[in-house]
Each structure stands twice: as structure tokens, then as C-alpha cells.
Amino acid sequence: MRMNKLVVSAFILLTFQARAQDHQKAINDQVWKPFISSFNSFDTDGFMAVHSRDVVRAPRDAKVLLSWDEYFKQQEAGDKRHKAAGSSRSIELRFTERVANAAQAIDVGIYKTTSTNKEGNSNSFFGRFHVVLRKEGSNWKILVDTDSSEGNTIGEKDFLAAHPLE
């Protein structure tokens, strides 16, 4: 009897893990891959398309809260400024925690953003992000997006210690 309970418990645990991995794959495909691609190519419309119209953007170092419209304007201005300057940028994401069910998810991790000016000089910046996602219809969207450099204490070591996007 005790062995049966152990087998059933293990089966249930494996089933939950498989479902969470399915949700994370969908989130990767619907949110993180287009997020990275559109950010790197200065595609404001594509970048904002992975965000809910109810998004709350909270860059904690700046101590501000932005609505979708405010976030769009800020992102668009930055994209135009970088394009005009002839610079490029890339963002990489790594994860320290991922929790998901069929309708909601939380992803926590470290980002690395590298900006390169037209002369070829580059700088990398790191921060910790916390993102709440929700399923809207059949698509995952970012509902809350907050990040911080935590007083410039987040760095390459933190980034490398986190798990890559799979």
C-alpha cells in the first residue's frame, strides 16, 4: 500500500513538471524569443506586441511605473535614438526561477544588455528581472515587467550562474 502511494505521488509530480515545461516552452516561443529579437532589432511594435495592454512596467532603479502607452513611447524614443546614432544592441536572458500554470507564470532571472556604438566600442549592463505573465486568449503576454541593477551589484557572475533560455 505504501509503495502504491509513492508511485502515485511520483507520477503526479512528473505530470506537473511536464505541464510546467510545456507552459515554459510556449512562453519562450510566444514571449521571450520575439522579445529578444525585436529588442535587438529596434522593432518597437514587435517588442510591445508581447506585452499585455494592461502591462505595468517598473524599472525599479528609476523609481517609476509606466502604463502600456508610456512604455511604448519610452521604448520607441530609445529605439529611434539608437538607430539614429548608428549603434546596435543585444539582450540575453538567463533564468533563476520559472513557475507556470495554464494561465499565469512568473519568470525571474538576469539580463545582459550589450550596446555597441558606431565606432565599435561596447558596454554591457546587467540586471535582475521579475516578470509576471498571463495567458490572454491563446497567447502569453507580459503583465508586469520590473528590473533592477540592485545598486550595480548584478554582474557577469550572476548571469552565468543562471539557466539559459531553452
Q: What is the pLDDT along the chain (166 residues), one digit of tens a residue?
A: 555 665 444 444 334 444 556 899 999 999 999 999 999 999 999 999 999 999 999 999 999 999 999 999 999 999 999 999 999 999 999 999 999 999 999 999 999 999 999 999 999 999 999 999 999 999 999 999 999 999 999 999 999 999 999 7
Instruction: Locate the DSSP E strands across the chain.
Output: 51-59, 88-100, 104-116, 122-136, 139-148, 163-164
pLDDT at 7: 47
pLDDT at 18: 45
pLDDT at 113: 97
pLDDT at 114: 97
pLDDT at 5: 61
Which of 40, 57, 23 shows the shortest CA–CA distance to 93?
40
pLDDT at 1: 54
Kindly list the structural domains of the chain, giving each domain's residue range(s) and its CATH number in brackets, ordered by start.
2-164 (3.10.450.50)
